[in-house]
Amino acid sequence: MSEKSSCACEHAPIDAANDKAAAPHNLAKNESTGGQDTQSLALKIQNMDCPTEEKLIRLSLKTVAGIAALDFDLLNRILTVHHTLSNTDIIFSKLKEIGMSALPLPATTTASATTQTQTPSVSRRQIITMSIAAVAAFSSEFLAWRGAANDSLPVIMTALIAVFAGGIPTLKKAWVALRHLSLNIYLLMATAVIGAVAIGQWPEAAVVIVLFGIAELIEAASLDRARNAIAGLMAHAPETANTLQTNGEWKDSPVNEITLDQMIRVRAGERIALDGIVASGHSSVDQAAITGESMPVEKRTGDQVYAGTLNQSGTLQLRVSSLQADTMLSRIARSVQQAQSQRAPTQSLVDQFAAYYTPVVFVVALLIAVLPPLLGTNSWHDSLYQALVLLVIACPCALVISTPVTVVCGLALAAKRGILIKGGLYLEQGKNLRLIALDKTGTLTEGKPSLTDVIALAHLSQAEILQIAASLEAGSQHPVAYAILSRHAESGENLMPVLHFSSITASGVNGEINGQRYSLGNLRMFESLNLTLAPEVKKILDENLAQLEQQNKTVLILADTRHVLALLAVADKLRVSSQTAVRELQTMGIDLVMLTGDNAQTAKAIAAQVGISEVRSQLLPEEKLLAITQFSDKQITGMVGDGVNDAPALARAHIGFAMGAAGSDTALETADVALMQDDLRKLPEFIRISKQTARVLWQNIGFAISVKILFFALTLTGHSSMWMAVFADTGTSLLVVLNGLRLLRYQVSSVSETSSS
């Protein structure tokens, strides 16, 4: 057996290149495709349940030239093949060869696939034949127990019935594995059974293969449970919606036929079918399905509502703003689905362990079969039997299956609470966070500042100042611009046209109005103008500046090319939840640092209010990035931002968190963890989920390994039998899957929630 194929039963990675298949698609693109465009083919494979099958598929498709990468989503039984083939028939025929029938899926439906209930993987027919097999196997065992010889005709006949009714799928898969020179659990089982027959233990052979068959069915059924539990969390949007027809009537139509900008009506008590903007009506909407927040949110004309959320009180008319496949809910489902096809570190660890464990046990089994009889310390018969028992416990099934189930349940639990985690890696790393850097504006504060002061320093009136400032800010997305623009909107004046507009990140804006060049921004921006000011003007400017900053306001200076014209001050409110979150994180032993582009005085004041002692202010985006780089060189570092200016820093941190992701596409895309709600308390909650997931993960690993060790010892001392080993293996698999599922019901109670509600 070759180096590669000697790896374990189950889904140990086959080689480095294939292992990358678990990484996001863009990686696959760069791989060995010779610059051609990589296409993706999504396939639904009904009987792809177990990591063993993943391995078989990898083995069989590995030989096909033009396949760049494979993404496995075992839980949803979807295989995505990234390839450069012009004809994909070869994929189907290769799959058929190993007994898998594949159904092509349109690329866009992969998301909604999570939200459909799946056909159960255990059919009635399988249950009936397995029952017949079970009766036959136990009759065989019973006859032998009543005194019939183990190789007498009635015993052999009943055993054969059991093997044919219950063992054919196992034997078939073993044959495929053998042909591919891969050592997997089916091959181990088949070896054990054939070995038992060879030493005349017919009843034993029958019982083992039937127990294993039942185990496989139970495992498939329990994975179904995991699948449905997760689908149940995500599936919340109705399939039809009450739409306005061209003749003015309302009619229920299927959601997938509804187009953008159509009007739909949602009555009280109904779930909303598509994302939309409220066109008329007023209601409170329970948005838990998207944001995880338990309090309903008031919705009126102009507000955004999401598919899957529950309209509680009034009738709403909505203008549809996204198609079914693009709703926030579908994107969350898609994101969870993509996350689960990426291996978490523990999973890779377990896979690696499994890759060594099985061959080692196999060699030990061989030694046990051969050495004692050669040395004359045991009979051939007994040694062979012991060796076969060892083969049964060589299967790392429970271990390998429990990790993905647990991780997926952790991801689903978090998604249910409005925390969107982009991969098992971040879920596992969360518990190791030692330092979290927080952005100020929009993260600790609401990010919706209001204009508090307008101080004229030259000939302009307040109204003129406001008009110039607002016209300049019209081209900016910065929260400061929002403050100035919304005040200006109240005045009812028009904005003036601006020529040669430019916006300088972390400084301000400038442009030309009526032939005059203006700039508006922070002190850094003003100083870059190099104006020579009369001493008395300089004095007034400095005094006002100091005074406003003393009040913890962000001060902007409006200037033309020769004079300083005015000071404008804005103030932002701290989020109520920030304080509690900061305290909780500190209790968890995490260091907090505030990073901000704002002035030192205001930064320090806000930090003091929330209880953060380390502050870095007046940072440019690249300086934020530098700070994060320094932090993450030393410890596991998280960064929380709103994803607009701080995308590079978010990307550099070990875990980048984006706030209020439900409102912003960039945030949802750039973050490793997207907090759907504008609430920092989701951060300690994320860490708690991470810790609980790790706990369950290690419980499972510990339990599975203990059972193996126990049986190893029992076997070596001649105290276990083959069917006991199968029983233990199955039982362990089942228990670890159930233990993983328990996570879904984990109560993420937190101090802050109980005290604030």
Ligand X SMILES: Nc1ncnc2c1ncn2[C@@H]1O[C@H](COP(=O)(O)OP(=O)(O)OP(=O)(O)O)[C@@H](O)[C@H]1O
Instruction: Supply the residues annotated as catalytic.
Output: 439
Q: Among residue numbers 169 through 228, which ones bind Zn ion (CB under 5 A)?
A: 185
Contact call for residue 292 and ligand X (CB under 6 A): no
Rounded Cα–Cα distance for residues 384 and 399 (Å): 26
- Choosing from 53, 275, 598, 685, the residue that interacts with ligand X (CB under 6 A) is 598
Spell out the alpha helix ranges (H) of 149-257.
153-166, 168-179, 185-198, 202-234
DSSP string spanning 697-749?
HHHHHHHHHHHHHHHHHHHHTT---HHHHHHHHHHHHHHHHHHHHGGGG----
Q: Which does 679 bind (CB under 5 to 8 A by kind): ligand X, Zn ion, none?
A: none
CA atoms within 13 A on the CB side of 167: 26
Contact call for residue 521 and ligand X (CB under 6 A): yes
Contact call for residue 510 and ligand X (CB under 6 A): no
Using the contact rule CB under 6 A, the part of the chain among 218-226, 438-446, 456-464, 687-695 near ligand X is 438-446
Contact call for residue 465 and ligand X (CB under 6 A): no
The CB-of-416 to ligand X minimum distance in angstroms stands at 30
- Choosing from 48, 210, 395, 726, the residue that interacts with Zn ion (CB under 5 A) is 395
Q: Which does 440 bind (CB under 5 to 8 A by kind): ligand X, Zn ion, none?
A: ligand X
Using the contact rule CB under 6 A, the part of the chain among 34-42, 125-133, 519-527, 725-733 near ligand X is 519-527
Using the contact rule CB under 6 A, the part of the chain among 132-140, 266-274, 414-422, 503-511 near ligand X is 503-511
Nearer to ligand X, 42 or 520 (CB): 520
Query: Closest residue to ligand X, Cβ-based?
Result: 597
Contact call for residue 435 and ligand X (CB under 6 A): no
The CB-of-397 to Zn ion minimum distance in angstroms stands at 2
Using the contact rule CB under 6 A, the part of the chain among 37-45, 274-282, 358-366, 474-482 near ligand X is 474-482
Q: Which does 478 bind (CB under 5 to 8 A by kind): Zn ion, ligand X, none?
A: ligand X
Q: Which does 522 bind (CB under 5 to 8 A by kind): Zn ion, ligand X, none?
A: ligand X
Rounded Cα–Cα distance for residues 545 and 569 (Å): 9
Q: Write out the H or E segment, with its range, that includes residue 639.
A: strand 637-641
Which residue(s) pair with 499 in the sheet? 512
Q: Which does 520 bind (CB under 5 to 8 A by kind): ligand X, Zn ion, none?
A: ligand X
Q: Among residue numbers 48 through 67, which ones bind ligand X (CB under 6 A)?
A: none
The CB-of-628 to ligand X minimum distance in angstroms stands at 13
- Choosing from 203, 597, 638, 684, the residue that interacts with ligand X (CB under 6 A) is 597
Quick one: residue 639, left, alpha or beta (phi over 0 = left, psi -120 to 50 = alpha)?
beta
Tokens 């070896």 -> residue: 191
Query: Exposed, middle or buried, 313 (CB in 10 Å: 0-12/13-18/19+)?
Result: middle
Using the contact rule CB under 6 A, the part of the chain among 123-131, 244-252, 504-512, 708-716 near ligand X is 504-512
Cα 292–chain centre separation: 15
Using the contact rule CB under 5 A, the part of the chain among 24-32, 153-161, 707-715, 729-737 near Zn ion is 729-737
Rounded Cα–Cα distance for residues 384 and 194 (Å): 12
The 10 Å Cβ neighbour count of residue 208 is: 31
The CB-of-468 to ligand X minimum distance in angstroms stands at 12
Nearer to ligand X, 177 or 435 (CB): 435
Contact call for residue 485 and ligand X (CB under 6 A): no
Contact call for residue 556 and ligand X (CB under 6 A): yes
Q: What Cα–Cα distance (Å) separates residue 427 from each residue in 307, 343, 346, 647?
A: 26, 11, 11, 20
Contact call for residue 480 and ligand X (CB under 6 A): yes
Nearer to ligand X, 286 or 623 (CB): 623
Nearer to ligand X, 327 or 596 (CB): 596
The 10 Å Cβ neighbour count of residue 492 is: 6
Which residue(s) pair with 420 in the sheet? 674
Using the contact rule CB under 6 A, the part of the chain among 49-57, 336-344, 351-359, 514-522 near ligand X is 514-522
Nearer to ligand X, 430 or 521 (CB): 521
Give the total of residues touching Zn ion (CB under 5 A).
Answer: 4
Contact call for residue 508 and ligand X (CB under 6 A): yes
Contact call for residue 678 and ligand X (CB under 6 A): no
Contact call for residue 439 and ligand X (CB under 6 A): yes
Q: Which does 521 bind (CB under 5 to 8 A by kind): ligand X, Zn ion, none?
A: ligand X
Query: Closest residue to Zn ion, Cβ-based?
Result: 397
The residue count for the chain = 757
Q: Which does 441 bind (CB under 5 to 8 A by kind): Zn ion, ligand X, none?
A: ligand X
Rounded Cα–Cα distance for residues 746 and 233 (Å): 14
Q: What Cα–Cα distance (Å) separates residue 203 from each residue in 35, 168, 186, 385, 395?
A: 59, 17, 19, 13, 22
Q: Which does 395 bind (CB under 5 to 8 A by kind): Zn ion, ligand X, none?
A: Zn ion
Q: Which residues contact 381 (CB under 8 A, 6 or more apart)?
A: 199
- Choosing from 74, 211, 397, 673, the residue that interacts with Zn ion (CB under 5 A) is 397
Rounded Cα–Cα distance for residues 445 and 136 (Å): 70
Task: Let me know: does 260 contact 247? Beta carbons within 8 Å.
Answer: no
Nearer to ligand X, 293 or 473 (CB): 473
Rounded Cα–Cα distance for residues 62 and 678 (Å): 45
- Choosing from 184, 201, 507, 732, the residue that interacts with ligand X (CB under 6 A) is 507
The CB-of-398 to Zn ion minimum distance in angstroms stands at 7
Coil, helix or strand for 104? Answer: strand
Q: Which residues contact 107 (CB under 8 A, 6 or more apart)?
A: 40, 42
Contact call for residue 509 and ligand X (CB under 6 A): yes
Rounded Cα–Cα distance for residues 184 and 397 (Å): 10
End-to-end CA distance of the chain: 63
- Best CA proximity match to 75, nearest among 378, 370, 488, 424: 424
Q: Which does 397 bind (CB under 5 to 8 A by kind): ligand X, Zn ion, none?
A: Zn ion
Query: Exposed, middle or buried, 730 (CB in 10 Å: 0-12/13-18/19+)?
Result: buried
Structural Rg of the chain based on CA atoms: 32
Q: Which does 480 bind (CB under 5 to 8 A by kind): ligand X, Zn ion, none?
A: ligand X
Rounded Cα–Cα distance for residues 394 and 21 (Å): 27
Q: Among residue numbers 148 through 167, which ones bind ligand X (CB under 6 A)?
A: none
The CB-of-162 to Zn ion minimum distance in angstroms stands at 19
**Amino acid letter at 491?**
S
Rounded Cα–Cα distance for residues 285 and 276 (Å): 13
CA atoms within 13 A on the CB side of 525: 26
Contact call for residue 643 and ligand X (CB under 6 A): no
Query: Where on the chain is the footprint of Zn ion (CB under 5 A)?
Result: 185, 395, 397, 729
Query: Where on the chain is the footprint of ligand X (CB under 6 A)?
Result: 439-441, 473, 476, 478, 480-481, 503, 506-509, 520-522, 554, 556, 596-598, 645
